[in-house]
Each structure stands twice: as structure tokens, then as C-alpha cells.
Amino acid sequence: MENCVFCRINKNELPSWKVYETELTMVLLAKEMEVQRHTLVIPKQHYKDVTDIPTATLADMMEVAKKIILHYEKIL
Ligand SMILES: [Zn+2]
């Protein structure tokens, strides 16, 4: 989607703090990190609603989120 900031980040058209990615999921640190560990785990492909996201992608996102949480628990 042309005007979607996350799609533009995924195409490297905008700068980001991408800290981890898989084939389906990307993990970004929030630009304005007002809350420590504020981290976005989002699908690389654009979907209108969470109910539109394929189950395999949702599963990948949750696996990635778990990995990030465990990482934060270890280092912070
Ligand atoms: Zn998008």
C-alpha cells in the first residue's frame, strides 16, 4: 500500500530501527520510545485487519514476539 508507513519501511523507502525480521514479520523499535521496550511486531505484508492476516503469518508474529520478550527479559 503506497501511503502506509510500514509498507514503505518494509521497502526501505523510509528509515527505521528494524531490529529483527523473518520472511513474514518485522520488528521495529518505536521512533518515540516513551515507554521502555516499546517494540512493534508487525507483518511485512499489508493487511487491513488482523482477521485478514493468514494463520501462518500470525503464528510467525507470535513466535517472534515471544523471542523478543525473552530477549528483553534476559538483557533488561
Ligand atoms: Zn502497510
What are the C-alpha distances in Å from 61 to residues 50, 58, 64, 68, 75? 11, 5, 5, 10, 21
- Cα dihedral 9, 15, 19, 20, rounded to 10, equals 30
pLDDT digits (tens, 9 = 90+) for 26-74: 999 977 666 677 899 999 999 999 999 999 999 999 999 999 999 999 9
Q: Which of 25, 30, 35 has the alpha carbon at shortest distance from 62?
A: 25
Ligand 1 centroid – CA 69 distance (Å): 24
Ligand 1 centroid – CA 44 distance (Å): 8
pLDDT of 36 reads 73
Query: Is this prediction's pTM over 0.75?
Result: yes
pLDDT of 25 reads 98
- Fold observed for domain 5-75: HIT family, subunit A (3.30.428)
Domain ranges of the chain: 5-75
Ligand 1 centroid – CA 40 distance (Å): 13
The arithmetic mean of pLDDT across residues 13-21, rounded, is 92
Ligand 1 centroid – CA 34 distance (Å): 23
Ligand 1 centroid – CA 6 distance (Å): 5
